[in-house]
Amino acid sequence: MKNIVQGLLVAFVVFISCTPEDEKIDSGNIQPLTFSTDTVVFDTIFTAVGSVTKRLVVGNPNKNAVRISTINLATGSSSPYTIFVDGVPNDQFQDEILLGNDSLLVLIQVMIDPQEEDLPFLVKDSIVFNTNNISQHVKLISYGQDANFLNDSILACNEVWDSNKPYVISNSVLIDTLCTLTVKKGVSVFSDNNSFVFVKGRLIVEGEADSPVLFSNSRLDEDFINAPGQWGGIIFLPGSKGNDINFASIRNAAVGLNLDTFDNDTVPEIIVNNTIIENMSASGILTIGADVYATNVLIDNCAEFMTGNFGGGYHTYIHCTFANSETDFFRQNPSFAFTDNFSQNNRTLVSDLYVNLDNSIVWGNLEEELIFDLTGETNSVLIITNSILKTNLELDINNNLLNENPKFLDPANFNYRLDTLSPAKDAGGPSSLLLDLDGNPRDADPDLGAYERIEND
């Protein structure tokens, strides 16, 4: 019996001695836990809409394991935040063992209740870690934003949207036939993935230089702020006419303005002034037989066409900047395209084409950025004057400058204003547009494109 007891004691001692150092739990004085950040910050989140998931890495710098006695949200079950440990959601966890020199991944989400506030409001909490009588906190910060939520809606006729709260669209909205939606200055409209604004009637956007209207995606987190294709875009259906967009920014959609509104007249179905259309997974302006009038418009970073006007139509672009130098997109075709014909899905359209491009810039990273496809069966008129063009076409006429880099200030950060050495400076012809896209005055020798270069004294 004595030999058996001695054998068991020896085996126990051997077992203890064989336990790896990183698995031995240290209950004495230890180095505090480390964290990948001391503050987890969420970008503005719409109330009643869940956030993306943020990550927090918790490290154990000690050679031995530690027992984290509690991991909990400071405000407990009333917190708008949820934490996940080992894939399990809760507001508190107990007795988590963290091996020596190992790490633990904590995931965080937030769902904020409406507060009936017009302006964004701060939502704070913290995650508390208690280990061997050491208490550590990681702060959680979010900004909540109440909104007007629209889900699969046909809008009331002659509705007006003001700027008190943003509008968030899920599953698309429709402006019905003979109805008008008026969007006042300063309004922000955010759409979920695969949501559209469909227009059978009329859309009026009344932005101003210091208070533009924004159409963009509903995810405001950093990873999505410049991600193309996050919503569908604004679609103008047959019969829509009299649309007028002033001082708007349309971002991160598939197609910014999509018009399938063919008719037999030359009256523009849409007038677009002082507007930015950028970061599209397909096109900035895409039309089928429609008529467009645009001034002081910037279209940039489109994976397919900055402007694609197909099946004819009457198109005027004055003091516009078309820039497609985005290297994240793989493009094979010119991004500025006009045709007098269109054929798709058993539908064929051949119609007169009129294009007036003046005092503008068409630029991109392809050798050829313009295409004109004419059948010879229509009355087609192309008037291209006083413009910088990236092209091998024989357009070295009418004061056009071919293949001269316009020298934008910072296109990587969506700044398409002109550098002081830009060849677009003072290269324009006479212009009736006295103000540029920023609302700055043009001088007697206007610059090409949507922006007038303002020299600092």
Q: Please state the separation of Cα 54 from the chain's center in Å.
A: 19
Average pLDDT (355-368) is: 96
10 pLDDT exceeds 70?
no
pLDDT at position 326 is: 63
* Sequence-separated (6 or more) residues with CB below 8 Å from residue 207: 183, 185, 186, 213, 246, 247, 248, 274
Average pLDDT (183-198) is: 95
Token pair belonging to 128 = 């508390």
Confidence of residue 319 (pLDDT cuts 50, 70, 90): very high
Tell me which residue of 278, 158, 170, 161 sits closest to 213, measured CA to CA: 161
Confidence of residue 18 (pLDDT cuts 50, 70, 90): low
* Alpha carbon distance 294, 424 (integer Å): 19
pTM equals 0.84
Q: Collapsing DSSP states into helix, strand and coil, what is residue 82?
A: strand
* 322-347 tens-digit pLDDT: 999 766 677 888 989 999 999 988 89
Token pair belonging to 26 = 């240290």
Tell me which residue of 251, 332, 243, 317 sits closest to 284, measured CA to CA: 251
Are the C-beta atoms of residues 350 and 340 closer than 8 Å to each other?
yes
* Alpha carbon distance 322, 79 (integer Å): 47
* Alpha carbon distance 437, 202 (integer Å): 24
Tell me which residue of 58, 65, 84, 51 sits closest to 21, measured CA to CA: 65
Residue 251 CA neighbour count, 13 Å, CB half? 19
Q: What is the DSSP code string of 131-166?
A: ETTEEEEEEEEEEEE--EEEEEEEPPTTEEE-SSS-
Tell me which residue of 319, 205, 318 sits closest to 256, measured CA to CA: 205
Tell me which residue of 111, 121, 173, 123 sits closest to 148, measured CA to CA: 173
Confidence of residue 8 (pLDDT cuts 50, 70, 90): very low
Confidence of residue 1 (pLDDT cuts 50, 70, 90): low
φ/ψ region of 407 (left if φ > 0, alpha if ψ in -120 to 50, else beta) reads: left
pLDDT at position 50 is: 80
Are the C-beta atoms of residues 197 and 190 closer than 8 Å to each other?
no
* Alpha carbon distance 339, 352 (integer Å): 9
pLDDT at position 13 is: 47
Are the C-beta atoms of residues 292 and 259 closer than 8 Å to each other?
yes
Ramachandran angles phi, psi of 295, nearest 5°: -135, 150
* Alpha carbon distance 393, 396 (integer Å): 8
Average pLDDT (189-205) is: 96
* 74-96 tens-digit pLDDT: 999 999 999 999 999 999 999 99
Tell me which residue of 33, 11, 44, 34 sits closest to 141, measured CA to CA: 44
Number of neighbours of residue 266 by Cβ within 10 angstroms = 10
Mean per-residue pLDDT of the chain: 91
Helix (H) or strand (E) run with residue 11 in it: helix 2-18
pLDDT at position 19 is: 63
Are the C-beta atoms of residues 166 and 147 closer than 8 Å to each other?
yes
Residue located via tokens 């990273």: 365
Residue located via tokens 């990550």: 55
Q: Which residues of 373-406 are buried (b: 16+ CB within 10 A; e: fewer)?
A: eeeeeeebeeebbbbbbbbeeebeeeebbeebeb
Q: Which CATH number fits domain 21-144: 2.60.40.10, 2.40.50.140, 2.60.120.10, 3.90.1200.10?
A: 2.60.40.10
The edge-to-edge listing of strands for the beta sheet with 88-90 is 34-35, 54-59, 103-110, 81-85, 88-90
* 127-147 tens-digit pLDDT: 999 999 999 999 999 988 889
pLDDT at position 27 is: 85
